Amino acid sequence: MFLPSKLQSKLKKRIDNTSLRSLHQKNNLIDFSSNDYLGYASNEELFFKTHQFLLDRNLKINGATGSRLLTGNHELYTETESLLATFYKTESALIFNSGYDANIGFFSCVPQRDDIILYDEFVHASIRDGIQLSNAKAFKFKHNNIAHLEELLLKFSSKKTTLYVVTESVFSMDGDSPNLIEISNITTKHNALLIIDEAHAVGVFGNGLTPKLQLETTVFARIITFGKAFGCHGAAVLGSGALIKYLINFARSFIYTTGLSPHSIATILQTHLYYIESNTQKLHSNIHFFNKEIKRLDIASLFIQSNSAIHCCIISGNEKTKKVANKLHEKNFDVKPILSPTVSPGKERLRFCLHSYNSEQEITNVLENLSIFAH
């Protein structure tokens, strides 16, 4: 099949830069790469709880049958969204099919023409794509730089328009967190609306850093996802009842898509009920141990400081980063290289994702190997 020359040229450039992406089968290596922070994705007890729940409700249905506005709004949606609103301490919640859908839907329809969006330069690609689809004007501020954010707020606050500030509570590529209290204070001061993506925080830090810091009443909207710590699929936007009503009417990625199946919604419901009765101590113990080990091995300077489940070792250069990752793979460790253009050239890295099921011995072994290969 013919491929236009411009597309062939773009593929060739990826090959030349050793940054060509491809799909791989799941391996049996020791997992330091998945987002399954709590092990829920492979938790058999949860699987059988969900299955039995569906049988008890006599919900032997494979699909939603249509969009939620037509035939796909089955009874579990209302029950699960009510639970989510309580769990996350918000007025209302609206489930989307994925985190990408949630961000695309929210940012493409909420900010209006001549509104101003100020976003952290490291926000997720789905947020950027949603912003590009909006009619608002958007400006990025330096990563976690409060002074630069306030400078931009001062610049635009005199205009008669709505200001939106967008950040993440845990950044997926660095694993670090902004000073959310300070950001909340200055957005309130300048009458801006704060939006926080909590994808990599919920489950790891309870119901997210927003309620943990008691900021839920000052944040305009939160985006949460269930494909990370909760080990299933889907996402939700959290906010006021008025905001949710607006999204139901104007978020195109919500309106024009088939809803999630009853099984998917039941899994979201059951993982949250399971979480309420569980604890995350083992995960946090592993995070603490990981940070202790990189100091012991004198490689802490290679890492971006993080107290989350994501820890990034800057290697620099696509070829070198892939080479170190391959050496770790040969030692039975699944650690993924993150290459440019996903990150800026020179910031290529290995991203270590920690889990409740990683042992201290596994953490020590992978870091001891890294200390040899990275130098």
Mean pLDDT along residues 353-362: 98
How much of the chain exceeds pLDDT 70, in percent? Answer: 100
Tens digit of each residue's pLDDT (9 = 90 or more) over 274-311: 999 998 899 999 999 999 999 999 999 999 999 999 99
Give dist(CA 37, CA 58) in Å, integer. 32
- CB neighbours of 88 closer than 8 A, spacing ≥ 6? 202, 207, 208, 211, 216, 222, 224, 238
What pTM value is reported for the model?
Answer: 0.94
pLDDT at residue 177 in the model: 97
Q: What single DSSP character describes residue 169?
A: S
Tens digit of each residue's pLDDT (9 = 90 or more) over 151-183: 999 999 877 899 999 999 999 999 999 999 999
Query: Is the CATH code 3.30.2270.10 the one for domain 61-276?
Result: no
- CB neighbours of 353 closer than 8 A, spacing ≥ 6? 31, 32, 33, 34, 35, 37, 309, 310, 311
Whether 353 contacts 342, CB under 8 Å: no
Query: Is the CATH code 3.90.1150.10 the one for domain 26-42+280-373?
Result: yes
Please say if the pLDDT value at position 208 is more than 80. Answer: yes
- CB neighbours of 178 closer than 8 A, spacing ≥ 6? 120, 144, 146, 167, 168, 169
pLDDT at residue 159 in the model: 76
Please say if the pLDDT value at position 373 is more than 90. Answer: no
How far is C-alpha 36 from the chain's CA centre? 12
The full DSSP string for 27-41 is --SEESS-S-TTSGG
Give dist(CA 213, CA 12) in Å, integer. 47
pLDDT at residue 131 in the model: 98
Polymer length in residues for the chain: 375
Q: What DSSP element (H or E) covers 166?
A: strand 163-168
Q: In the chain, list all ranges with CATH 3.90.1150.10.
A: 26-42+280-373
The number of beta carbons lying within 10 Å of the beta carbon of residue 264 is: 21
Give dist(CA 311, CA 290) in Å, integer. 9
Q: In the chain, list all ranges with CATH 3.40.640.10.
A: 61-276
pLDDT at residue 290 in the model: 98
Mean pLDDT along residues 1-24: 89
3-state secondary structure 309-347: CEEEEECCCHHHHHHHHHHHHHCCEECEEECCCCCCCCC
